[in-house]
Amino acid sequence: MAAWATSSRYATFRTAVKYVAAGSASPAESIMFGMFALPQRYGGFNMLSLPKGGILLNHRIDFNEQALHMASGIPYAILDAHIPAAKTDLEYNGIGHEQDAARVHDGQRNNGVRGMGIAIIVLNRDQMRDVIALEAIARTIYRSAGTCLRYRMEGYRMRQRALLNTLRKATGLPPC
């Protein structure tokens, strides 16, 4: 489809296709990916530019023996957004993660992930509406990757809010 859409009328579509990533399991994961992955000129935190693959959506990690024991026998984890350069996993925990059975499973799974040497940052609904909270998380990830988040243009906060609200609107959520 992108190869067919050559007219200038489809420039935005062709740009969006460049940044599409397979594997999102929910609208919230898509929003999270957009905010952390997209270049700063669009309002994102530009993590696609990090080495070792940028951000990998729903990436499977098979546990070694120690992590398997830490996870109480869970053999692997699917990481919502794995950032290999920072050895970090971004996990979005929506309402389904608030139930008791889900909390127990999440705790076991997270122990296994930590046993593999991967830090876990859990985002909730409130943080996914707050660009300042998202920026703090992005700065932590960049630091873990051995680099810094630097803004290279004016009006970055306005761009971040616009991107966040556009992504929310595209998934049927109200703006923040």
Q: How many CB atoms lie within 10 A of CB 58?
A: 16
Residue found by looking up tokens 């990436």 in the block: 59
The closest alpha carbon to 90, from 38, 150, 47, belongs to 47
pLDDT in tens, 91-141: 998 765 556 666 788 889 999 999 999 999 999 999 999 999 999 999 999
* Residue 18 included in any domain: no
d(CA 41, CA 170): 19
* Residue 91 included in any domain: yes
pLDDT in tens, 72-95: 999 999 999 999 999 999 999 876
Residue-number span of the structural domain to which 50 is assigned: 28-170
Our CA angle for 174, 18, 30, nearest 5°, is: 30
Into how many domains does the chain fold?
1
Which pLDDT does position 64 carry in this prediction?
Answer: 97
Look up the pTM and report it.
0.86
* Residue 124 included in any domain: yes
Residue 105, judged by CB atoms within 10 A of its CB (0-12, 13-18, 19+), counts as: middle
By three-state DSSP, how is residue 127 classified? helix
Q: E strands, 74-176, where?
A: 76-83, 88-92, 119-123
* Residue 165 included in any domain: yes
Given the DSSP bridges, would you call strands 76-83 and 119-123 parallel, antiparallel or unpaired?
unpaired
pLDDT in tens, 11-53: 666 666 677 777 888 889 999 999 999 999 999 999 999 998 8
* Residue 9 included in any domain: no
Neighbouring residues of 160: CB distance < 8 A, sequence distance ≥ 6:
35, 43, 44, 131, 134, 135
* Residue 15 included in any domain: no
* Residue 140 included in any domain: yes
Q: How many CB atoms lie within 10 A of CB 155?
A: 10
* Residue 152 included in any domain: yes
